[in-house]
Amino acid sequence: MVIRVKQRIGSSIPGYVFKQAPFKFDPVPFGTESERLNERIFDADIQLDSLNTYTENPKIPVVYCVSGSPSDSKALYFAAYLAELHYKANKFSKINWCPIYGGFKNELLDSSPSLSLLILSNLAANSTAVKLEKARDLLVHYSSIPRIVVVAGEDPVSFMTTKLHMPIHAMAYFSENLIKTRMEVI
């Protein structure tokens, strides 16, 4: 399956997302990267099932974590694809793409607009505690709608469980270096 975003959904999706070219979605198994977690391998079928379940009902209130390592460019584009699926299912959708910035101001919590999809980006394995707290607050506040979390530098399970301490219902992981190699000199 090729991930291709055919239409831009309003002005909520940042232009830099579309610098990524369409790509083939061919997930591979991945292992948790956090030292705090027991090492576990997640099969590629989990990622395919996540996409199939979301495609069938893009209005279900899940946390869909999409991550990339070392770059999040494919993850950002994939999130735009998920937003397009949501938009097609509900033409009157209100999608908000929210890059999380440092600082204590959190406009989405202050104004509490009515949304049908929330996408959080600009998060990484080394994000500050303030950014992580903001993201967690938004995920809890908008728990009745689908939420997509885009992450750079870490697998989705490690990030959601050790950084945000939140459940993860669906996932996709785009890693450019899936196999760690070890060389011993004798």
CATH classification of 55-176, choosing from 3.40.50.300, 3.90.110.10, 3.40.50.1370, 3.30.420.40? 3.40.50.300
Give whole-number Cα distances, 20 to 17, 28, 78, 109, in Å. 6, 20, 10, 30
- pLDDT, position 78: 97
Write out pLDDT tens, residues 22-66.
999 999 999 888 778 778 889 999 999 999 999 999 999 999 999
Residue 161 clears pLDDT 60, i.e. is over it: yes
* Contact indicator for 4, 81 with CB cutoff of 8 Å: yes
Give this prediction's pTM.
Answer: 0.90
pLDDT (average), residues 138-161: 96
Interatomic CA distance for residues 149 and 156, integer angstroms: 9
Interatomic CA distance for residues 97 and 81, integer angstroms: 13
- pLDDT, position 184: 44
- pLDDT, position 31: 87
- pLDDT, position 37: 79
* Contact indicator for 123, 149 with CB cutoff of 8 Å: yes
